[in-house]
Homo-oligomer: A and B are copies of this chain.
Amino acid sequence: MSDIYEMMSTLRAVRRLKVDPIPRDVLETVLQAACWAPTGGNMQPWRVIVVSSPDRKQALADIYRPAWYKYAKGYDARLDALPTAEREKGQRARSAGDYLADHLHEAPAILMFIADPKQMAITDAKLDRISMVGGGSVYTAVQNAMLAARTEGLGCTLTTLHCLEEDKVKTALDIPNDWATLALVPLGYPVGSGHGSITRQSPEVLAFDDAFGVEWS
- A182-B3 contact in complex given A8-B37, A36-B11, C-beta closer than 8 Å: no
A211 to chain B, nearest CB (A): 4
25 contacts between A and B (CB under 8 A): A5-B29, A8-B33, A8-B37, A31-B206, A31-B207, A35-B201, A35-B202, A35-B206, A38-B146, A40-B158, A40-B160, A42-B200, A48-B208, A56-B210, A124-B160, A124-B163, A127-B163, A132-B135, A133-B160, A135-B138, A136-B139, A136-B183, A139-B143, A143-B144, A175-B212
- A203-B161 contact in complex given A2-B3, A208-B48, C-beta closer than 8 Å: no
A144: contacting residue among B8, B123, B135, CB under 8 A:
B8
Q: Is the CB of A11 within 8 A of B38?
A: yes
A19 to chain B, nearest CB (A): 17
Across the interface, name the chain B residue whose C-beta is closest to A46. Answer: B206
Binds B, one of A98-106, A114-122, A186-194: A114-122
Total number of A residues with any Cβ neighbor in B under 8 Å: 90
Q: Is the CB of B211 within 8 A of A174?
A: yes
User: Measuring CB to CB, which residues of chain A are less than 8 angstroms from any residue of chain B?
Assistant: 2-5, 7-9, 11-13, 28-29, 31-38, 40, 42, 44, 46-53, 56, 114-115, 117, 122-125, 127, 129-136, 138-140, 142-144, 146-148, 151, 157-158, 160-164, 166, 173-176, 179-183, 198-203, 206-213, 216
